[in-house]
Amino acid sequence: MKELRVSDGVLRLVQGDITQVRADAVVNAANSALSGGGGVDGAIHRAGGPSILRECRSIGRCPSGSAVVTGAGDLPARIVIHAVAPIWRGGAHGEAELLGSAYAESFRLAEEHASGSIALPSLGTGAYGYPLDQAAPIALRAALAHLRSGAQPRDVTFVLWSIKALEAFEEALESFTDLKAPEKASP
Ligand code: AR6
């Protein structure tokens, strides 16, 4: 686990299953149809129960780069934020902007729902094929911008499924040169 203090907030990188993490808001890697699927989406709907999919159906759709909120069913969370990453098509189709926007919308909705803590997966880097080494800095920049803005939630945890994903996030974090001394990562 890696933990970094940012202003009066905290940014954490952990390896694990996002459905097992306690946080006010849990982010799902959803699709535009909000129809459920594999990966994080499958795990969240399995662990959270059918009420989440019922709510998704009543919402309808969510465009790529955006997010919507439902209750969390049986998950140890208050809300689920269903964020839709872009499908990777080589990188020249606005993927970076859409991925950044999916994260920014997730943080905005978490604040709107008065969440003190948020757990996020690495959006887009599974079925949607976004290369991990390019997705990790986008995810972290969005999280740092959020924490530096002073907005809620002040407690941000990326829950990374594989050791490869954890390492990609750790490397991206270490490559940022704008992290001042008080924000230095501790091992
Ligand atoms: N906890 C944390 N991370 C996980 C978990 C888990 N339980 N399971 C997988 N990951 P993906 P996407 C990692 O495919 O790329 C779905 O079918 C995984 O290793 O869940 O945004 C949806 O319905 C990867 O690094 O999301 C959509 O159709 C990351 O989470 C589509 O997949 C994201 O992988 C969305 O694709």
Residue 182 included in any domain: no
Rg of the chain (C-alpha set): 15
Q: What are phi and psi of 19, to 5 degrees?
A: -75, -10
Ligand 1 centroid, distance to 182 Cα (angstroms): 33
Residue 78 included in any domain: yes
Residue 125 included in any domain: yes
Using CA positions, which residue lies closest to atom 21 of ligand 1? Answer: 124
H helical segments located in 69-162: 95-112, 132-149
Residue 183 included in any domain: no
Query: Is 74 assigned a catalytic role?
Result: no
- For position 35, which CATH number holds? 3.40.220.10
Residue 42 included in any domain: yes
- Strand order in 79-84's β-sheet? 2-6, 9-15, 155-160, 117-120, 25-30, 79-84, 67-71
Residue 39 included in any domain: yes
Tokens of 110: 């978490």
Model confidence pLDDT, tens digit, residues 128-167: 999 999 999 999 999 999 999 999 999 999 999 999 999 9
pLDDT at 177 over 90: no
* Strand bridging mode 67-71 / 79-84: antiparallel
Residue 108 included in any domain: yes
The answer to whether the CB of 29 is under 6 A from ligand 1 is: yes
Are the C-beta atoms of residues 41 and 18 closer than 8 Å to each other? no
Ligand 1 centroid, distance to 103 Cα (angstroms): 14
- Of the candidates 8, 24, 41, 133, the residue annotated as catalytic is 41
Specify the pLDDT at position 187: 59
Residue-range definition of the domain harbouring residue 44: 2-177
Specify the pLDDT at position 178: 72
